[in-house]
Amino acid sequence: MFFSQAGARTRTWEASPSEHKKWVEVFRACDEDNKGYLSREDFKVAVVMLFGYKPSKIEADSVMSSVNPNTSEEDNFSPQLLGILLEEFLNVIRKKREAQLYRNETRHIFTAFDRHYRGYLTLEDFQKAFKQVAPKLPERIILEVFREVDQDSDGHVSFKDFEYAMNYGQNEA
């Protein structure tokens, strides 16, 4: 695929001191019993406080199993093994925030390409955008890129198609 040949951009982002402080405060507020970790439910409340949505059971389970891969709710280990410690929480939240910022950046790029505010991109939109950012790029390459990004070959690139293309290879690096 064309985008894999271009190489994936490494995403690196660090929280500001004030943002980091806020995350620690949210962790402490959600750790009501001062047990030193957040339970699955505590974690869900923290996500609501920081991102404004309640994570699904699948998302919460995924986070919990990623920080404690050898445990489950049925295990008879200490309760701490069923929770997320502060450093793990900060790492998860940093990654969520980074992904949120990257998605916003992708949306901004898509919107810049979508000059007619239709909610999709046409080959003409691609051609005009590439003429501005890479004027010497051969027309056939632009056409190849458009065809690859247009997943369902309907002549329109939706934001979902565009986002997929922008993220292609990110997890392969």
pLDDT, one tens digit per residue, over 16-65 is: 889 999 999 999 999 988 999 999 999 999 999 999 999 998 998 889 88
Residues in Cβ contact with 69 at an 8 Å cutoff, skipping those fewer than 6 apart: none
This prediction's pTM: 0.66
Tell me the C-alpha distance between 120 and 115, whole Å.
10
Q: Strand, helix or coil at 136?
A: coil
Please give the CATH number for the structural domain made up of 17-93. Answer: 1.10.238.10
What is the pLDDT averaged over residues 55-81? 69
Identical fold at 17-93 and 103-167?
A: yes
Looking at this protein, which amino acid is placed at residue 50?
A: L
Q: Strand, helix or coil at 154?
A: coil
Are 92 and 55 a contacting pair, CB within 8 Å? no
Q: What CATH number matches the domain at 103-167, 3.40.50.11610, 1.10.3430.10, 1.10.238.10, 3.10.20.30?
A: 1.10.238.10
Least confident of 32-41, 79-88, 112-121: 79-88
Helix boundaries (H) for 17-85: 17-30, 40-51, 57-67
